[in-house]
């Protein structure tokens, strides 16, 4: 509600609109602008289809009103033109002054821009040198590692070649094919084996546990002999 209150207006409202606006009965504060009902409230049902009569003003009165309004508007326009002119005169400057100001602004801006460019260039230079250093270091490390890996690879290959060469002495060739056949026939290989509950293994299809046991005994004896002699 409105905190601003005009007692004279309230009394006036009371006399105009009745006791609803009486400052001494109930509501003390009243909306000043919309005294009776809010402006957004719809038209009352009883007034919905009311057609107000067209007001008729006496001709001389209308003429006088029109004259007053016309003169008021003319006056207002003249005042506005005066104020506009005064303002325009107060801010008016010669073109040379404006141009020189523009030039000054431009040169100042260019100077500032160059300064900034220098600063940025210094920062960029520093960053680029640092980056180049890091890049060179990285490349060096990479090259060293690659060389090492290469050497290791060569070494590995050499070993493989060496091993293969050693192995090649035992290869079966057409020259020693007969010997190999004879050797194979003379030394048959038997991959079969048997195992007992104690974990003793007997190789060969014709192997015997007794032989294994004997061997174990011999080994034990040898160990004992070795232990006593030392």
194 DSSP β-pair partners:
202
Residue 71 Cβ vs another protein, minimum distance, rounded to whole Å: 6
Residue 122 Cβ vs another protein, minimum distance, rounded to whole Å: 54
Residue 176: other Cβ atoms inside 10 A: 13
Residues within window 33-52 making contact with another protein, judged by CB under 8 A: 51-52
Residue 80 or 127: the one with the smaller Cβ distance to another protein is 80
Residue 34 Cβ vs another protein, minimum distance, rounded to whole Å: 23
Residue 81 Cβ vs another protein, minimum distance, rounded to whole Å: 6
Instruction: State the virtual CA torsion across 38, 43, 44, 47 in degrees, nearest 10.
Output: 140
Helix boundaries (H) for 169-208: 177-186
Residue 74 or 117: the one with the smaller Cβ distance to another protein is 74
CA distances from 204 to 109, 121, 143, 199, 213 (A): 102, 87, 57, 16, 15
DSSP code of residue 197: T
Residue 90 or 96: the one with the smaller Cβ distance to another protein is 90
Residue 69 Cβ vs another protein, minimum distance, rounded to whole Å: 12
List, as one string, the DSSP characters of 80-127: HHHHHHHHHHHH---HHHHHHHHHHHHHHHHHHHHHHHHHHHHHHHHH
Residues within window 52-111 making contact with another protein, judged by CB under 8 A: 52, 54, 60-61, 63-64, 67, 71, 74-75, 77-79, 81-82
Q: Which residues contact 25 (CB under 8 A, 6 or more apart)?
A: 19
Residue 62 or 120: the one with the smaller Cβ distance to another protein is 62
For another protein, the binding residues (CB under 8 A) are 51-52, 54, 60-61, 63-64, 67, 71, 74-75, 77-79, 81-82
């Amino acid at each position: 509600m409105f905190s601003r209150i005009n007692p004279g207006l309230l009394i006036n409202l009371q006399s105009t609109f009745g006791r609803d606006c009486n400052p001494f009965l109930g509501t003390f504060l009243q909306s000043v602008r919309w005294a009776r009902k809010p402006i957004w409230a719809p038209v009352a049902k009883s007034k919905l289809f009311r057609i107000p009569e067209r007001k008729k003003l006496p001709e001389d009165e209308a003429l006088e009103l029109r004259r007053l309004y016309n003169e008021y508007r003319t006056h207002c326009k003249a005042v506005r033109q005066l104020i506009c002119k005064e303002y325009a005169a107060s801010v008016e400057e010669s073109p040379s002054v404006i141009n020189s100001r523009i030039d000054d602004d431009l040169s100042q801006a260019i100077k500032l821009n160059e300064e900034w460019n220098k600063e940025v260039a210094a920062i960029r230079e520093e960053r680029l040198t640092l980056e180049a250093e890091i890049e060179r270091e990285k490349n060096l490390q990479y090259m060293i590692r690659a060389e090492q890996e290469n050497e290791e690879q060569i070494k590995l290959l050499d070993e493989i070649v060496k091993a293969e060469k050693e192995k090649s002495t035992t290869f079966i060739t057409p020259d020693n094919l007969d010997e190999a056949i004879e050797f194979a026939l003379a030394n048959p290989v038997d991959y079969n084996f048997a195992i007992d509950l104690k974990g003793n293994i007997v190789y060969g299809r014709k192997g015997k546990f007794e032989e294994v046991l004997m061997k174990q005994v011999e080994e034990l004896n040898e160990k004992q002999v070795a232990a006593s002699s030392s």
